[in-house]
């Protein structure tokens, strides 16, 4: 059975989804502050590698772990969920079917605990 990576169209599809995803995220008032001083070309390259590997593509992700990459950012559960909404929208706009989007969301759900920073109580 082909991987999700192959089912959605391989590297070209992943690249299109990542571009669409970041257009949505950077335009979102809740999220745009996280990207103000970020090298977007570098971030997109990392994201393409991560997504391709996560979807069963031939690439090996060699970036930071999710908890290290997001440490100190103070990302909330609400913000994580909003990112997932934008990813689903980007996938849909690039022609990925609902069942596959659900499978991708399910694969990303365990990352929430690594990305979301527990809120310190003063």
Q: What is the pLDDT of residue 20?
A: 96
Tell me whether residue 103 is in a domain. Answer: yes
Tokens 């969920």, located at residue: 81
Report whether pLDDT(117) > 50: yes
Please state, in angstroms and rounded to a whole number, the distance separating the CA atoms of residues 45 and 43. 5
Query: Counting beta carbons within 10 angstroms of the beta carbon of residue 111, is it exposed (0 to 12), middle (13 to 18) or buried (19 or more)?
Result: middle
Domain span including residue 63: 4-115
User: Mean pLDDT over residues 60-69, rounded?
Assistant: 82
59: domain CATH number is: 1.10.490.10
Average pLDDT over the chain reads 88
Q: What is the pLDDT of residue 119?
A: 56
Tell me whether residue 122 is in a domain. Answer: no
Domain total in the chain: 1
């Amino acid at each position: 059975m082909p991987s999700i990576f192959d089912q959605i169209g391989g590297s070209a599809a992943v690249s299109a989804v990542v571009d669409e995803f970041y257009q949505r995220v950077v335009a979102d008032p809740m999220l745009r502050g996280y990207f103000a001083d970020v090298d977007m070309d570098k971030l997109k390259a990392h994201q393409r590698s991560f997504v391709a590997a996560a979807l069963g593509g031939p690439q090996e992700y060699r970036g930071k772990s999710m908890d290290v990459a997001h440490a100190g950012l103070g990302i909330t559960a609400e913000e994580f969920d909003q990112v997932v909404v934008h990813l689903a929208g980007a996938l849909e706009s690039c022609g990925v079917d609902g069942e596959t989007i659900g499978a991708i969301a399910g694969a990303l759900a365990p990352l929430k605990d690594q990305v979301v920073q527990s809120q310190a109580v003063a």
